[in-house]
A and B are shown apart, each in its own frame.
Chain A
């Protein structure tokens, strides 16, 4: 009964579907790998770009960690490599601030926002909901290329004569608004702002696509409450992006006006070098409010995809249904909603209205509830499970560990009274690096190890993966755990050196330990890169369903074809977590495409 027809990608009009038969689309290298409209290829493009950026961002952290660990030493070899940033073998203070700023910007926006959800939303959403592609493949490709352009602009700014932006990744005015305040606030800042507007456009195109794909393109039987938690998490991530990034655009546009048109949105009562500037009536705190209205939801954009993937991976590798499927969904929803109303907890020490601060403290502490629901659900999913030890499950468990360690200190920092002591110290650095940096990376690694066979048809090398895991897990704690103590002692963040301060000088050894650990962890990531690229070519061939998972992506041909499925789309009959359902059966998983048995139809638990 099957006839060969060609239908356009879903975004084109249906009328085009008439009457094309047997047409073969020829593909060149450019159309297949570079300007591809296929969601799987675009996902891989995001992943590779993310890796490049992670290496660059990580290298920057190594450079400033060397400065912090050995502030008195000179490094002629580094001066040879980065001549523009070193004088007499020592890192210039301006270059140090540039490194810190670029490390934050690159890691937060390009790696953990664009690349994390870009990779997995693109690859997993259509495959897991049973769609041929995204709602609009063209917009999807545009999203990647805008991200690419944005990142090229950002990278280019590093080579400007005055250097890249150096006002911190939060680019607070007046430092970022007035070019005379620091070299990086000149052209580098302008390029930063241009790059960020392009980046927001990219996020928006991607996010709109993900949302409408999830809402409209699900295959037969795939109701919203039969979707895997990965898709739910990516769905809410996209919604957060759609609602929060436009506010960054507003903040950036007003900052551009302040910089170029002489307006005073964020500026007032400023004297530089004895000269009073004619700005009046604005407030730098206004920028902080606007920035953090994006900035706080942003951290959930970073962590939610990791949470979703970890939920999925933990259930699969402990061969148990996820504990509290709906509780997971509603806690994602709760985190999404609460994430939008707590932004000013980043600003307790700015001189904002203290009464407002107490309201924000209340809302902030409420986030502990959905977060704890998720943590306990992961733990209870693992509880008495038939846990398979393999790279994805190790990284997923590592994620849970990191999320707990970093999340608990969040409760400290959310209290405005405690924050008075801890604000802008290394305690904050430790908190957010563990909870949204390392944890999100662990989720990302778990995802890459788990879906690598789906992406490339081969398995990654396990030995290298275990070494990678051990170095990353132990090393990350070695970097960030001591920082809590530095922070409690009041050591401030973003300082170029602590030698000058009697109170902090005796932490020199601790700083050395942190720096050594940072360098080792950075080198450890190279093992992952080698493993990744080696396995693409040489890895063991994967079977169709290597993890014995239930979700739809493992029913689609593993070599990856346009349109994802030959013939009809699969039909979904059950939720994605039927693991170890029948103790007497040899097979401990029931894919979503298997129809319900008669007994199951009577038992209405999961339908």
Chain B
């Protein structure tokens, strides 16, 4: 913030203004600082983006006469070559993301106590969880691509590959509804992109907490804002999990 506003006014240094208003005027209507207000409404906005994706998913899925069974599609597990563990791997992923979210909540709480060391430790574990989740997702994508799933091709289906079932020839080349692959990669990809962004932001938070600039401000609101974003990523995963793996 290079711009500095020059004003003449009585300003008591010892009486810090409330976080709601630079000059302690009318209090915030919602009793929450503008930074967190912005983050919350941004997340609301982002929730609309994700909802649009998931609602499109629901619409396309319900318009198809047949849809792959998640217990059949998502059954592989790393290091267990021919294992049949339906939903096993994704359960691990979900659990890791929840724990990562918890770690960041703990960091926020330590921030309220001005416990710098606690913030740093818990942020670290939050980042570890996020990176682990991304690794899992990379493995799962890789695995599904090996099984033949593409944004434009879906090997999981009742038809034989290359046969036509619709009224036009050369159509429906893939055994299952092609939308499945597109929606899976599109939506989990968009979520993964959010996780990646969240990890980057959390690293920024970790550095800020470790080097002390947040501590000097006298509050760890930045960690709170980053935390809100990180929990939102977890929240979205709940519904991605619901849409792709459970239903």
Contacts and interface: CB of A to CB of B under 8 A. Distances in A.
Interface in A93-140: 130, 132-133, 135-139
B107 interface: no
Given A211-B41, A223-B26, A262 B4 contact: no
B14 to A, nearest CB: 10
B3 to A, nearest CB: 4
B72 interface: no
B17 A242 contact: no
A254 B179 CA distance: 11
A224 interface: yes
B168 A215 contact: no
A265 B56 contact: yes
A264 B152 contact: yes
B147 interface: no
Contacts of A130: 25
Contacts of B186: 253-254, 257, 263
A444 to B, nearest CB: 26
B1 A15 contact: no
Interface string A10-38: 11111101111001110000010000111
Interface centre among A221, A249, A280 (most CB of B within 10 A): A280
A215 B1 contact: no
A326 interface: no
Contacts of B17: 14
B178 A264 contact: yes
Interface string B151-179: 11000000000000011111111000111
B182 interface: yes
A263 B28 contact: no
A37 B4 CA distance: 9
Interface string A256-284: 01000111110001010000101111110
Chain A interface, DSSP helix/strand/loop, else mixed: loop
Given A257-B182, A280-B171, A281-B178, A247 B7 contact: no
Contacts of B217: 13, 15
Interface in B23-51: 23, 25-26, 28-30, 33-34, 37-38, 41-42, 44-46, 48-49
Nearest to B167: A269
A261 B8 contact: no
Interface stretch (A382-390, A450-458, A562-570): A562-570
B91 interface: no
A574 to B, nearest CB: 14
Contacts of B59: 283, 286, 289
Contacts of A499: none
A138 to B, nearest CB: 6
A399 to B, nearest CB: 30
A137 B1 CA distance: 8
Given A250-B53, A262-B152, A215 B8 contact: no
A247 B41 contact: no
A5 B22 CA distance: 14
B60 interface: yes
A282 B60 contact: yes
Contacts of A5: 7-9, 11
A562 B3 CA distance: 10
Contacts of B166: 269, 280
Interface string A287-325: 001100100000000000000000000000000000000
B81 to A, nearest CB: 30
Contacts of A211: 37-38, 41
Contacts of A10: 21-22, 34
B56 A569 contact: no
Nearest to A271: B168
Nearest to B152: A262
B211 to A, nearest CB: 15
B200 to A, nearest CB: 17
Contacts of B38: 135-136, 139, 208-209, 211-212
Contacts of B242: none
Contacts of A247: 48-49, 52
Contacts of A269: 166-168, 171
A138 B1 contact: yes
A283 B63 contact: yes
Nearest to A211: B41
B56 A204 contact: no
Contacts of B9: 2, 5, 7, 567-568
A499 to B, nearest CB: 37
A73 to B, nearest CB: 45
Contacts of B172: 280
Nearest to A572: B26
Contacts of B179: 263-265, 281-282
A40 B134 CA distance: 44
Nearest to B39: A208
A3 B9 CA distance: 6
B184 to A, nearest CB: 11
Contact of A221 (B10, B11, B26, B177): B26
Nearest to B181: A263
A283 B60 CA distance: 8
A280 B151 CA distance: 12
Contacts of B1: 8-9, 11-12, 37, 137-138
6 contacts: A12-B1, A13-B217, A136-B38, A137-B3, A253-B190, A283-B59
Q: What 9 pairs across the A-B complex have the smallest Cβ distances?
A: A250-B52, A10-B22, A263-B182, A246-B49, A37-B3, A262-B152, A216-B34, A212-B34, A563-B7
Given A3-B11, A264-B182, A562-B5, 11 more contacts: A10-B22, A10-B34, A15-B218, A139-B38, A204-B45, A216-B21, A217-B21, A222-B25, A242-B44, A250-B56, A283-B63
Interface of A: 1-15, 17-20, 23-25, 31, 36-38, 130, 132-133, 135-139, 204, 208-209, 211-213, 215-224, 242-247, 249-251, 253-254, 257, 261-265, 269, 271, 276, 278-283, 286, 289-290, 293, 562-563, 565-569
